[in-house]
Amino acid sequence: MHRQLIERYAAEADDLGKSIAGLSQDDLNAFPVPGTWSIQQIVLHMLDSDLIAADRMKRVIAEDNPLLLGYDESKFAQRLHCDKLDPHLACEVFAKNRRLMAEILHRCSDADFQRTGIHSERGKITLLDLVNTYTQHLQHHLKFVREKRKLLGKPA
């Protein structure tokens, strides 16, 4: 079961980059749904989230019940100049981070997937929970990218 989840986690490494193919910088920074994030902000959020996820997973594997700090994703989107960053570079880093993390996960034992950390907002969480959450997280946000592309007249 863990192996199939790891395979999915790794196999989706390029999906973020594929989701923005053919979009201009104006498309990426548009707000076709007022009050929500732009595609660019989603891309940078996914990178931030996956980098934080990798750190959390590594710490759960290596440390005994580490504290896993929550963060304010909205403040990241507002204050980290997402609209000015290179979304293609972000997608490359996302993909490489996923592949490297998958290599680590492939080397973990079944018992490692039951190791825990303490999330500052959600409490005890296992390595398996983390891998599952972040695999689902990508697909959750890709739905919004597809919706925004459609509204921009640029369906995937």
* pLDDT tens per residue across span 108-130: 999 999 999 999 999 999 999 99
What's the CATH code, domain 2-151? 1.20.120.450
Give the count of alpha carbons within 13 A of 102, CB side only: 19
Q: Answer whether 61's CB lies under 8 Å from 115's CB.
A: yes
Supply the pTM of this predicted model: 0.94
What residue ranges do the domains of the chain occupy? Answer: 2-151
Query: 156 falls in which pLDDT band (50, 70, 90)?
Result: confident
Residue 1, pLDDT above cutoff 70: no
* pLDDT tens per residue across span 22-64: 999 999 999 999 999 999 999 999 999 999 999 999 999 999 9
Residue 3's pLDDT is what? Answer: 85
